[in-house]
Chains A and B, each alone.
Chain A
Amino acid sequence: AQSVAQPEDQVNVAEGNPLTVKCTYSVSGNPYLFWYVQYPNRGLQFLLKYITGDNLVKGSYGFEAEFNKSQTSFHLKKPSALVSDSALYFCAVRDMNSGYSTLTFGKGTMLLVSP
């Protein structure tokens, strides 16, 4: 079965500094990977996805993610953090074996950007 690990419960960064939120995955076959963001008392908003092609994927709000097949990682990055980026971030992998389009999520990483 596929799985996702987000090793950090919380990431702290100062505004203007680059940020990285880590994600590693385990799948059989080719990975379909996603990042979502969740603001307090809200649902999940789609940020970006990796399906195939270029290892650097660009998404919404200036975020990007780097796919590394040898390290089975899909880290989320942003060159310059904003206070408004503070939220809960989830990495997810598509279940390729079930025959239906569900996602398996990591436990989430809280990003706190200080002014």
Chain B
Amino acid sequence: ETGVTQSPTHLIKTRGQQVTLRCSSQSGHNTVSWYQQALGQGPQFIFQYYREEENGRGNFPPRFSGLQFPNYSSELNVNALELDDSALYLCASSLGTGSSSYNSPLHFGNGTRLTVT
């Protein structure tokens, strides 16, 4: 069973630039969620993709966007980077969405550490 993999592991960008982070979901999982974990904080939900469509979003501006591909892998794109975007970005996969998935844990990757200077 292949776990959740994320790339790159570390990234340094300049304010105003754009960044793309990538995630491969665990084998058999069709739902991908993205979380932002700022230093000293718990993960905050960004958005979720199911069957290539965004089906849930947290309190993040539109410059945070994403994609899910037919093989269930996913990308997180952030435009016009700000210093406060510096964080660990976590991808999590799961099977299904809605009430059928409520008792299933999310499976997380090791994250991408983004530093904005």
Contacts and interface: CB of A to CB of B under 8 A. Distances in A.
Interface of A: 4, 32, 34, 36, 41-46, 49, 51, 90, 92, 94, 96, 98-108
B14 interface: no
Contact of B48 (A32, A94, A96, A100): A100
B97 A100 contact: yes
Contacts of B105: 34, 46, 49
Interface in B82-117: 90, 92, 94, 96-98, 101-111, 113
A107 B106 CA distance: 18
A41 B58 contact: no
Nearest to A94: B102
Nearest to B9: A41
B3 to A, nearest CB: 9
A98 B59 CA distance: 13
Contact of B58 (A45, A46, A102): A102
A42 B110 contact: yes
Contacts of B2: none
A28 to B, nearest CB: 14
Interface residue range, chain B: 20 to 34
B50 interface: yes
Contacts of B56: 98-100, 102
B45 A102 contact: yes
A111 B48 CA distance: 30
7 contacts: A43-B111, A51-B103, A90-B42, A101-B104, A102-B45, A104-B45, A108-B42
Contacts of B103: 32, 49, 51
A100 B108 CA distance: 17
B111 A102 contact: no
B31 interface: yes
Nearest to B42: A105
B43 A44 contact: yes
A52 B101 CA distance: 14
Given A43-B109, A101-B31, A107 B102 contact: no
B4 interface: yes
B33 interface: yes
